[in-house]
Amino acid sequence: MRKNAATERRDYIVSVRRSQVALAFFLFIFLLIGHSWPAAAELFRPETFNLSNGMQVVVLTNRRAPVVTQMVWYKVGAADDPWGTSGLAHFLEHMMFRGSKAVPPGAFAHRIAENGGTSNAFTSWDYTAYHQTIARDRLELVMKMEADRMANLQLDQARLLPERDVILEERRSRVDNSPAAILSEQMYAALFRNSRYGRPIIGWAHEMQALSLKNVSAFYHGWYAPNNAILIVAGDIDAQELKPLAEKYYGGIAKRSIPVRLRPTEPKNKSGLQRRVILYSADVRQPNLRHMYLAPSPRSVDPLDICAIQVLTEILGGGATSRLHRKLVLEKSVAIGAAAYYEGNFLGETVLNFSLTPRGDTEITQRMMALDGALTEELEDLIKNGVTEEEVRLVRERLIASTAFARDDLESAARIIGEALATGDTIEDIASWPQRIAAVTAERVNKMARSILVEENSVVGQLMPSQSEGKP
Amino acid sequence: MYMKFWPRVRGVTFGLICGVGVLAASSGMAAVKIERVTSAKGIEAWLVHDGSVPVISMSFEFRGGSALDPIGKEGLSEMVSGLLDEGAGDLDSQSFQKLLEDESIYLSFDTDRDIFSGRLRILSKKQDRAFDLLRLALTKPRFDPEPVGRIREQIETRIRRNAASPQHIADRSLWEAVYPNHPYGRPSEGTPESLATLTVDDLHGFVHSRFTRDRLIVGIAGDIDAETLKPLLDKAFGDLPAQGGTIDLPEVEPKIIGISVIDRNIPQTVVRFVAPGIPRRDPDFFAALLVSYILGGDGLTSRLAETVREKNGLAYSIGAGLATLDKSALISGAFATENSRAGRALDLTRAEWARMGHEGPTAAELAAAKTYLLGSYPLRFTTTNDIAQQLMGIQHEKLDIDYANTRQEKINRVTLTDATRVARRLFDPSQLSIIAVGRPIGITESSVPPSPRKAPSEPRSK
């Protein structure tokens, strides 16, 4: 079994620097627990408390190694970039490594490395997170520096200009050099016409080029504050040990009023609307078919419905025994790989994705049509006849059993919890996830399938080879 | 799979396992106790028993990877690695996969040039079923026509996808160019032509000849003790043939090719570079590890990152590090820069390379590199999966079970004189082989440049 089609599962996370190992492992865990992030909580029994300035603190204890991971999550992301300044949240993430009053430019990463630690950061549409992993006895060093840059970031033109070139290079690496990434970006733009998720996290190049000191400074002072942040410390420490340190380093930072996070919803579409995005490129050797369906925001529907979507995703495209694999790959032989994934932790309306790789060597337009037809047929069959209780039972058990693995990896657990908290879940929501999964019925899965898998709510994307650049 | 020419993650080779650091010495790795477990049938495994989570991770390998695939049969290892969980014994593909999924057993196989490896990640209560399935996969794979055809097409799909990726184009070209007459230069995943020649007999032949006990290495961590493990080791590996014989693969020095440009109509040039490295068993290995970290270590702190990225904004990601194969040694690096600035980025990279070769590191840089390599050691031991990988990697390099301690001493003992000597040996710009994919301005093809200063040859301890 080769993991094939799901290579772009987390393509929206954008990071201050590339970290192959961390990302690969992130993906691995993600596959393992099938988007069921929140499962870790109950098993870890996270402790949580608030500082007087409103900063939430979460502690995950595991004493296997004398190591801690600190993460600070800000409840702000690319969807909060003001119009005309796409890429701003991510640019600020980069600038956070360019120094403060107490830490000269470049010294942040150096000090951590000199103390045997690692550090990085990442930006999504709904959150921005900074993290370090380091020996337990160096925790105060990273807490001190992280707290310092929450309040005392130094921004000037000399620091800004080279970093703006860096993010433009990052865009070229991630997007402009990759037809698959360009297609993905355009599909998001087509699916989200009103929601801010239609703009890429990294930004549109022409707007990135114009990002100014004023933009970055206003964003920083508007959103970076303790009452808009979550501190998560995982590893060889407990709440009693952490509390005085959290008070000492973060407790003195003043709270401020935080803007409202706008997540406008999509308009209802007239039935019969079809949206297709096709990219022809001479660089494409391997075509790909994608379907994206608008899915409800976890914030706007019954939490059980979100779990039902997670179960639906697994039944359809969760692995070698999933429906799409059995029907499209094994029985009909129209695909060589088929995967489904649901972006469950968005603040606004979100996406249910399907990614399929066509099989065979006949004329490509015909093959893509056949594959598209076969996928649509499978989805229609599911809507008409529904999933079975047995399918639901097996997936429920699998998802719940796999939660034990999340305890094995603290850094991933901290990410799971941070992502959930930053997008509006509570610790209790996270803890009760297995119970909610256990309560999912076939009826609820079918209800969600029928409301989501509707053509007018979808965008179809095709990555197509061409003889010459830009020509079909 | 993205940075194939990047330092591999197989642990020890790149100093991911470092000694008990000065930072961690007091509290540190004493907590990780490695046991040598030998089963009744003589299967040896290294074990870290940790019952804090009801999970077991096992990493195992058979020495000998895709470099041993016969000429014309490239991709054989890759095919087998994709097919072992596609049906075995009485279980066809779907039955096998369904058991794995229903029992939450994560079983995967992989191959690189030097090893064929597997990973098992399970809930400890599922250990019997999991080791049964592993035994079936290793001893009775079915290679039914449907999965064989499908996995072949999946690999072809990946080859086509890679053919459109500038990173992969650069990697592939570089391997081919620096190892022109050695199996390391051939494509691990094969070619459509070589994949087409692979028969079911080839696949069975691979399984019978390559999965042998004398080539087996096992690392395991998690909720299992030695006595419980022993019969499971016998169950999974006990029936494998005893001897596979010595691995017939010659030592090879990388060829130096100068600069090669591959034209692609993309906005950003992808640059890969390599130079001769230093063997794992060379007494100067740790000095090399330190100086290569100072020049190109992952992150924002290396000299290359400071010059090319932080000061000049010329790349998002730049780095270089040791890449050690069983039969060859490289130092390897990469960056990507918008076409019009690619020449400038390469000039800066070469200048830093030369400066490190001439001057070596400063005392402060060396001290900082030591504290990083020592202190980051415990970070590699936080999950059972990581621990199992490390245990496998240490054994692969034929290092001692107390390697963690000896490693610390060796890193600490590296002096500035050692580091400067080794920097001179490693960082000679005339030894660089460079591939640029894109439409770079300021990078021109050239064959091997005249060597202004031959890298002094150090005796190799073999």
DSSP category for residue B32:
-
Contacts of A284 in chain B (CB under 8 A): 164
Tell me how close the Cα of B453 comes to any Cα of chain A, in angstroms: 32
Given a contact cutoff of 8 angstroms between Cβ atoms, the answer to whether A450 and A172 are in contact is: no
- Confirm if B139 and B240 have CB atoms less than 8 A apart: yes
- For the segment B412-417, the average pLDDT, to the nearest whole number, is 97
Confidence of residue A219 (pLDDT cuts 50, 70, 90): very high
pLDDT at A7: 29
Of A119, A163, A172, the CB nearest to B338: A172
CB B297 within 8 A of CB B319: yes
Instruction: Give the model's pLDDT for residue A30.
Output: 34
Three-state SS sequence of A413-450: HHHHHHHHHHCCCCHHHHHCHHHHHHCCCHHHHHHHHH
For residues A187 and A195, give the distance between their C-alpha atoms in angstroms, rounded to a whole number. 13
Q: How far is CA B383 from CA A133, B56, B58, B324, B370, in A?
A: 13, 10, 12, 25, 24
- The string of pLDDT tens digits covering residues A266-285 is 999 999 999 999 999 988 88
- Tell me the two tokens of residue A79: 């969807």
Give pLDDT tens digits for B245-301.
Answer: 888 999 999 999 999 999 999 999 999 999 999 999 999 999 999 999 999 997 788
ipTM score? 0.88
Q: Is A317 helix (H, G, I), strand (E, B) or coil?
A: helix
**Cα–Cα distance, B277 to A106 (Å, whole number):** 29
> Pick from B98, B163, B316: which is nearest to A18 by CB?
B316
User: Per residue in A450-464, pLDDT tens?
Assistant: 999 999 999 999 999
Is B266–A66 a contact, with Cβ atoms under 8 angstroms apart?
A: no
Q: How far is B8 from chain A (nearest CA, A)?
A: 10
Task: Give B321→chain A minimum CA distance, Å.
Answer: 14
Instruction: Assess contact for B381 and B403: CB atoms under 8 A.
Output: no
SS3 B46: strand
Q: Are A2 and B155 an interchain contact pair (Cβ–Cβ within 8 Å)?
A: yes
Kindly name the residue from A8, A42, A47, A93 that is annotated as catalytic.
Answer: A93
A93 belongs to the catalytic site: yes
User: Which residue of B107, B301, B304, B340 to mutate against A (max A Cβ within 10 Å)?
Assistant: B301
More confident residue, B175 or A466: B175
Asked whether the beta carbons of A128 and A75 are under 8 A apart, the reply is no
Q: Which of A67, A137, A337 sits opposite B382 (nearest CB)?
A: A67
List chain B residues with CB under 8 Å of A104.
none
Task: Enumerate residues 6+ apart whose C-beta is below 8 A from B217.
Answer: B60, B61, B62, B63, B392, B395, B396
- Encoded tokens for B400: 């001692």
pLDDT for A287-337, tens place per residue?
999 999 999 988 889 999 999 999 999 999 988 999 999 999 999 999 999
**Inter-chain CB proximity B382 and A469 less than 8 Å:** no
Count CB atoms within 10 A of the CB of residue A177: 23
Helix (H, G, I), strand (E, B) or coil at B156: helix
Q: Are B440 and B166 contacting, i.e. CB atoms less than 8 angstroms apart?
A: no
Measure the CA–CA gap between B342 and B443, rounded to whole angstroms.
Answer: 7
Provide the sign of the torsion angle of the four alpha carbons B97, B101, B105, B107, taken in this order: positive
Q: How many CB atoms lie within 10 A of CB A176?
A: 18
Mean pLDDT of A358-373: 93
3-state SS, A216-245, equals HHHHHHHHCCHHHEEEEEEECCCHHHHHHH
Chain B contact set for A116 (CB, 8 A): 21, 23-24, 371-377, 379
Interface probe for A, chosen from B48, B104, B302, B371 (most Cβ of A below 10 Å), is: B104
Q: State which residue of chain A sits closest to B80, comparing Cα positions.
A: A1
| Closest residue in A to B307 (Cα–Cα) | A162
Q: How many CB pairs under 8 A join A and B?
A: 222
Question: Which amino acid, residue B105?
Answer: I
DSSP string covering A79-95, please? GGSPTT-TTHHHHHHHH
Instruction: Verify whether the Cβ–Cβ distance B222 to A408 is below 8 Å.
Output: yes
- Least confident piece of the model among B48-57, B121-130, B167-176, B444-453: B444-453
Query: What does the mean pLDDT of chain B come to?
Result: 89
* pLDDT attached to residue A470: 53
Rounded to an integer, what distance in angstroms lies between the CA atom of residue B139 and that of residue B311?
Answer: 56
Asked whether B415 and B84 are in contact (CB, 8 A), the reply is: no
The three-state secondary structure class of A276 is strand
Q: Write out chain B residues lying below 8 Å of A289, CB-based.
A: none
Alpha carbon distance B104, A402 (integer Å): 6
pLDDT at B31: 53
CB contact under 8 A, A336 and B166: no
**Confidence class of residue A44 from pLDDT cuts 50, 70 and 90?**
low
Q: Which of B86, B155, B375 sits opposite A1 (nearest CB)?
A: B86
Beta-bridged to residue B115, according to DSSP, are: B63
Please check the confidence at residue A24 and state whether its pLDDT lies above 50: no
- DSSP-derived letter for residue B116 is E
Mean pLDDT within B32-40: 93
Structure confidence at residue A72 (pLDDT) = 98
What's the whole-number average pLDDT of chain A? Answer: 89
* Closest alpha carbon within chain B to A178: B165
Bridge partners (DSSP) listed for residue B45: B37
Q: What tokens does B205 get?
A: 């032949």
CA distance B259 to chain A (A): 22
Range from A9-23, B31-45, B180-194, B209-223 carrying the lowest mean pLDDT: A9-23
Among all residues of chain B, which has the CA nearest to that of A179? Answer: B164
Cα nearest neighbour of B148 on chain A: A1
* Helix or strand holding residue A290 (H, E): strand A288-295
The span from the first CA to the last CA of chain A, in angstroms, equals 33
How far does B301 lie from chain A, in Å, by closest CA? 6
- Chain A residues with CB under 8 Å of B86 CB are 1
To test the contact with chain B by mutation, choose from A134, A408, A437, A468 the residue with the greatest count of B C-beta atoms within 10 A, namely: A408
Closest partner CB to A359 (pick from B27, B153, B377): B153
The residues, any chain, with a CB within 8 Å of residue A361's CB and separated by 6 or more, are: none
| Residues of A whose CB is below 8 A from B371 | 114-116
More confident residue, B120 or B451: B120
Kindly identify which residue of chain B lies nearest to residue A160, measuring between CA atoms.
Answer: B313
A97: closest CA of chain B, how far (Å) = 9
Picking from B24, B146, B382, the nearest residue to A64 by CB comes out as B382
Quickly state the pLDDT bin for B449 (edges 50, 70, 90): low
What is the reported pLDDT for B29?
Answer: 47
Residue with tokens 């840059």: A149
Contact B379 A409 (CB under 8 A): no
Question: What three-state secondary structure class fits B129?
Answer: helix
Q: Which helix (H) or strand (E) holds A230?
A: strand A229-235
Facing B157 at nearest CB: one of A286, A394, A402? A286
- In degrees, rounded to 5, the angle at the alpha carbon of residue B167 between the alpha carbons of residues A320 and B161 is 40
Q: CA A290, CA A209: separation in Å to the nearest integer?
A: 30
Contact residues, chain A, for B271 at CB < 8 Å: none
Instruction: Name the residue facing A285 among B164, B371, B378 (closest C-beta).
Output: B164
* Separation in Å, CA of A421 to nearest CA in chain B: 24
- Neighbour-count burial of A447, counting CB atoms closer than 10 A to its CB (0-12 exposed, 13-18 middle, 19+ buried): middle
Which of A110-114, B155-159, B394-398, B451-455 shows the lowest per-residue confidence on average (mean pLDDT)?
A: B451-455
Residue A336 CA to residue A356 CA, distance in Å, equals 8
CB B13 within 8 A of CB B202: no
Q: What are the helix (H) ranges across B3-144?
A: 76-83, 93-102, 127-139
- Chosen for mutation from B310, B314, B384, B386 (greatest number of chain A CBs closer than 10 Å) is B310
Residue with tokens 């959150």: A127
Strands (E), A81-220: 118-123, 128-135
* Residue of B151, B269, B316 to mutate for A, most A C-beta atoms under 10 A: B316
Q: Residues with Cβ < 8 Å from B416, sequence gap 6 or more?
A: B360, B361, B363, B366
